[in-house]
Amino acid sequence: MYAIVEINGQQFKVKQNQEIFVHKLEGNSGDTVDFDRVLLKDNNGEVQIGAPVIENAKVTATIIDQVKGDKVVVFKRKRRKGYKVKNGFRQHYTKIKIDGIA
């Protein structure tokens, strides 16, 4: 059984007991979050497709941790002008575990 759910504007294919990284969600470790924008649900070959979402379907998950991603280096340069700027960026992620698909 799996579902395609929209979380913070991105779509994820999730299964029960799966751990995924999503863009930062509000909450602390151990909090439970519900996602009601379920776009597709497959229950052993029985597929339900929403238009655009499935009514009365939701995915529950538990927040495991708030983490940062790898550093991305942003380097800007203009030739022959002596202009150089170096910046770094780390995206904030939330690690969640899918508890159930209803």
Q: Average pLDDT, stretch 78-87? A: 98
- Tokens 């999503």: give the residue: 22
Structure-token pair, residue 89: 């960026």
- Residue 24: the pLDDT is 96
Strand order in the sheet with 83-101: 19-23, 83-101, 59-78, 32-35
In angstroms, the Cα distances linking 88 to 13, 15, 24, 72, 75 are 30, 34, 19, 6, 8
Whole-number Å distance between alpha carbons of 24 and 83? 34
Q: What is the DSSP letter of 18?
A: -
The ranges assigned to domains in the chain are: 2-66+94-101
Q: What percent of the chain has pLDDT over 70?
A: 100
HEC assignment per residue over 78-91: ECCCCEEEEEEEEE
Q: List, for residues 9-32, the tens digit of each pLDDT value.
A: 999 999 999 999 999 999 999 999
Tell me what the mean pLDDT of segment 90-102 comes to. Answer: 96
- CA–CA dist 70, 49 (Å, integer): 35
pTM of this prediction?
0.84
pLDDT band at 56 (very low <50, low <70, confident <90, very high): very high
Chain segment 40-53, per-residue pLDDT in tens: 999 999 999 999 99
